[in-house]
Amino acid sequence: MTYIAIDLGSSYLKGAVLDLDGLTIRHIERLPFPEPIPGLPPTFREFDPGEVVAATRALLERLLHHAPEAQACVMCSQLHSLVLSDDHGCPLSNIINWQDQRALQPVTQGSGTYFDEINRRITSDERRQLGNEPRPGVPLCFLFWLAQNRALPQGPVLAASLPAFVAANLCGSTPVLDITNAFAHGALNVETGAWHKSVITKLGLESVGWPRIVTQGSVVGEMRIGSRVLPLFAPVGDYQCSQAGALLEPGELSVNISTGSAVIQFAEGLQFGDFQTRPWFDGRHLKTITHIPGGRALNALVRLLSELAEAQGLKLRDPWDYIIEQSDRVAATDLRVDPAFYFSAMGEHGAITNAREENLNVGHLFRAAFEGMADNYARCARRICPAGDWPRLVFSGGVALKTPLLRQLICERLGQECRLAPSEEDTLLGLLVLGLTFSGRATSVAGAMSFVKQNYKPDSP
C-alpha cells in the first residue's frame, strides 16, 4: 500500500511517497514555499493563496509520477495560518501566516495594542480553556484586527486555515479542520473540543463562520490530479505530526528545534499549568512551550553577518559548516546572546552583551547563541515538568539533529540520557505513522508509533 505525503512547511512544500508495507519514505521532493506578497507593512506576512494551491498541485503531480499506484494522501501543515474563504473554498483574502505581527500594532482608540485589548477581554479561565497560549500570531488575533479595522469581507466568510483551504481547493469541497488545526486558530476550547463561543462573542467575531471540526482520520474529499482521483485525509498540524515522527514516549522530554522550537511532554489526561496544553492524536494532549527562539533567531545572525557581502553582490555559500566548525573550536565564551530577536515565548527583545574585541567572531557568537538557546530550553523544561524526572531527552527537527554542540549544551543542563528522532524527516515519518493508522493497519496513532519503533530502520545516527 502506497500513500502520498505532503508537508506544507514555512520554507518549503515537501512531499514523499510512503510505502506502508516496507515502512519506507521514498522520492522526497521539495519546492520553495511561495514568496510573501511584497509592499505590505513590515509587521504583515501574507501570501497569494492561488500560488500555494498551484505549487501543492505541482508537487502532487511530481510525486504521482513516481507512484501512480498511490491510494491516498496524508498531509500536515504549518500551524496558525488564516485564509478567509466562502463555503466552496474560494479565497476572500490572502493567506496570513504565523509570522504576522499586526496584532502588536497600537489600537486606534484606547491604549496598548490589539493583542493587549484581546487579553483584556478574555478572562484567566478562558485563557486556560484556550490552551494557555497567548500569542499575537494566531488567526483569532488576525480576525480581531480585521474586525476592528473593518477589513473583513462583506457577506458570509469562513475562517479557514492554510491546509483546510488547500484541501478544499484540491477536492472541490468545503474547508473543514481536524482538531490539531482547529486548536491552532486560537479559539478552541480544549476542554470541550468545540469552538469557544463566549470568547468569539467577546471579540466581536460572531459574524465569522468557523469550520466544522472533523474526527481523526476523516476523508475530506477526493483530489483530481491529472487522470488520478486520490482520497485526502484531513490535514493535521506539523507540530503534532513531528512528535509522532519522533516516536515520543510517555515521560520523555522532547526538544524540537527547527525554524521555531518547542519543549514537549505527553500530558497525563488533560493537564493545565504554566505551559500550553495542545490536543494531540487519539484524544491525548501535550504539555508544551512553543515558539522558543530557534532556527529563525540563528538565521537573523547569519543575515547580519552576510549583509555587507551581499550588498556588494557576493552571494555566500551555505555558511553552516563553517559556523559549526568555528563554534566547536570555542571551549567557552563570556559573550552572551539572548536570541529573543522577535516576539516569542522568551520575550521580544534579544541582546548581545559582554562583547569585546577578542570574542567578536563567528565561533564565540554562535557558541553564545547556542548557550542562550540551551538556557531557554532548560527554563521551559522546568515549567513543563518541575520535578525534572524525565527518563531521557528526545531531539528532533533539522537544527537539533545537525548541531551536535547545541545538543551537548542542552544535555549539560537537562541530563545526558538522550536519543535522536529516528529520521531527519520527522514530519514525513509522522505522516507514515498516520498513514498506518488511517489505513486501518493500526488501531491508534500510539499503536502505529509502537509498530514503527520496532520495525523502522533509522536514517540518522
Convert 383-397 into a string of H (helix), E (strand) and C (coil): HHCCCCCCCCEEEEC
Up-side HSE of residue 346: CA atoms within 13 Å toward CB? 28
What is the distance, to the nearest Å, from the Cα of residue 183 to the centroid of all Cα atoms in its chain? 12
Do 277 and 388 lie in one domain? The reply is yes
Together in a domain, 155 and 185: yes
Residue type, 240: Q
pLDDT, mean of residues 355-373: 97
DSSP H helical ranges for 14-102 = 49-66
pLDDT digits (tens, 9 = 90+) for 220-271: 999 999 889 999 999 999 999 999 999 999 999 999 998 889 999 999 999 9
If one compares 458 and 276, the residue with the highest pLDDT of the two is: 276
Regarding whether 55 and 198 lie in a shared domain, the answer is: yes
Specify whether 196 is located in the same domain as 256. no
| pLDDT the model gives residue 458 | 65
pLDDT band (50, 70, 90) for residue 315: confident
* Last residue in a domain, options 176, 210, 238: 238
**Distance (Å, rounded) from C-alpha 51 to C-alpha 54?**
5
Lowest mean pLDDT among 109-118, 221-230, 241-250, 450-459: 450-459
Q: Is the pLDDT of residue 414 over 50?
A: yes
> Would you say residue 148 lies in a domain?
yes
Give the model confidence (pLDDT) of 69-104 as tens digits: 999 999 999 999 999 999 999 999 999 999 999 999
Range of the domain at 265: 250-420
Q: What does the alpha-carbon distance between residue 142 and residue 367 come to, in Å, rounded to a whole number?
A: 36
Shared domain for 375 and 401, answered yes or no, is yes
150: in domain: yes
Q: List the helix and strand counts (H, then E) for the chain.
A: 15, 23
Q: Would you call 369 helix, strand, or coil by DSSP?
A: helix
User: Can you give the pLDDT at residue 344?
Assistant: 86
Q: Give whole-number Cα distances, 106 to 61, 145, 342, in Å.
A: 45, 10, 17
Mean pLDDT value across residues 425-429:
95
pLDDT value, residue 461:
33
Q: What's the mean per-residue pLDDT of the chain?
A: 95
In a domain, residue 92? The reply is yes
CA–CA gap between residue 171 and residue 75 (Å, rounded): 13
Q: Are 67 and 176 members of one domain?
A: yes
Within a domain: 440: no
Whether the CA torsion 381, 385, 391, 396 is positive or negative: it is negative
Q: What is the CATH number of the domain that holds 226?
A: 3.30.420.40
Please report the pLDDT score of residue 182 as a whole number: 97
Convert the pLDDT of each residue in 385-399 to its tens digit.
999 999 999 999 989
CA distances (Å), origin 444, targets 120, 283, 436: 40, 10, 9
Indicate if the pLDDT at residue 460 is higher than 50: no
Average pLDDT over residues 301-330: 93
For 156, the enclosing helix (H) or strand (E) is none
pLDDT at 252 (0 to 100): 97
- Tell whether 15 is covered by a domain: yes
Same domain, 234 and 93: yes
Q: Is residue 136 part of a domain?
A: yes
The answer on 381 and 271 residing in a single domain is: yes
Question: Is there a domain that residue 142 lies in?
Answer: yes
Residue-level pLDDT at 342 = 87
Cβ-contact 427, 238 below 8 angstroms: yes
State mean pLDDT over 382-387.
96
Q: What is the signed CA dihedral for 244, 285, 134, 142, rounded to 10 degrees?
A: 60
- 185 and 266 both lie in a single domain: no
Residues 300 and 362 occupy one common structural domain: yes
Q: How many domains does the chain have?
A: 2
Output the pLDDT for position 16.
97
The 10s digit of each residue's pLDDT in 121-155 is 999 999 999 999 888 999 999 999 999 999 999 88
16-55: pLDDT as tens digits: 999 999 999 999 999 999 999 999 999 999 999 999 999 9
Q: Are residues 314 and 347 in the same domain?
A: yes
| Domain C-terminal end among 238, 267, 300 | 238
Same-domain status, 264 and 168: no
Evaluate whether residue 95 is within a structural domain.
yes
The residue out of 212, 238, 264 marking a domain boundary is 238
CB 350 within 8 A of CB 340: yes
Distance CA 290, CA 344 (A): 8
Do residues 347 and 367 make contact, with C-beta atoms less than 8 angstroms apart? no
